[in-house]
Chain A
Amino acid sequence: ILNVEQSPQSLHVQEGDSTNFTCSFPSSNFYALHWYRWETAKSPEALFVMTLNGDEKKKGRISATLNTKEGYSYLYIKGSQPEDSATYLCACSGNTGKLIFGQGTTLQVKP
């Protein structure tokens, strides 16, 4: 896994809006896809780890999907709240365990 791309780079939404971000990765030699949330002045925290094509994971108002054949994952946030403001990172690994991160999507939720 050499190149992980995330879009958009940043996003500003109003409280209550739903939003989604994209993570693209090379589909060859894919092993696992990770999503992390990184809040200011804190350490990144894991949201999801997915491996199977068609996988869907959910944690409260946040969910993620995975398409390994076309090489993308979506992260969805339903009814955004100010506490969702953070940088969301995705990362991919091949079967060696080496984990490569994208540049992140920075979300700002305005009250």
Chain B
Amino acid sequence: GAGVSQSPSNKVTEKGKDVELRCDPISGHTALYWYRQSLGQGLEFLIYFQGNSAPDKSGLPSDRFSAERTGGSVSTLTIQRTQQEDSAVYLCASSLGTQAGNEKLFFGSGTQLSVL
């Protein structure tokens, strides 16, 4: 695709339900990042995938959060047993990945998650 695609754009769920957020990176980009922005906060790092390397999961806030990247392309962020504090905008970004950290990120338009 032309850019990073995220779905859904908005998700309203009830506390305790599981949600899945999807990210489709730019074709050929091997690096993929997930961030979230809670109200009034900056961009919080969640997880980083680089090629076939083990992902850097150091930003996942609890074991309710998990992410996978299938076939080195599409990524899914799963939040189990959602809590109200999970409400945020979840942003996905990708980059070429040939020079780790030295390439600009292309961001998707985000998923606004609201947990009632």
Show the binding face of A for B, using Cβ within 8 Å. 31-32, 34, 36, 42-46, 49, 51, 89, 91, 93-104
How many A-B residue contacts, CB cutoff 8 Å? 68
Query: Is B105's CB within 8 Å of the partner chain A?
Result: yes
- Rounded to whole angstroms, the CA-CA distance of A45 and B108 in the bound complex is 10
Show the binding face of B for A, using Cβ within 8 Å. 4, 31, 33, 35, 41-45, 48, 50, 56, 58, 91, 93, 97, 100-110
**In the bound complex, do residue B104 and residue A99 qualify as a contact, i.e. CB atoms below 8 Å apart?**
no
**In the bound complex, do residue B42 and residue A97 qualify as a contact, i.e. CB atoms below 8 Å apart?**
no
18 A-B contacts, Cβ less than 8 Å apart?
A: A31-B102, A34-B104, A34-B105, A42-B109, A44-B105, A46-B104, A49-B104, A89-B43, A93-B100, A93-B102, A95-B101, A96-B100, A97-B50, A99-B33, A101-B43, A102-B42, A104-B42, A104-B43
Contacts of B56 in A (CB 8 A): 96, 98
Contacts of A44 in B (CB 8 A): 43, 91, 93, 105, 107
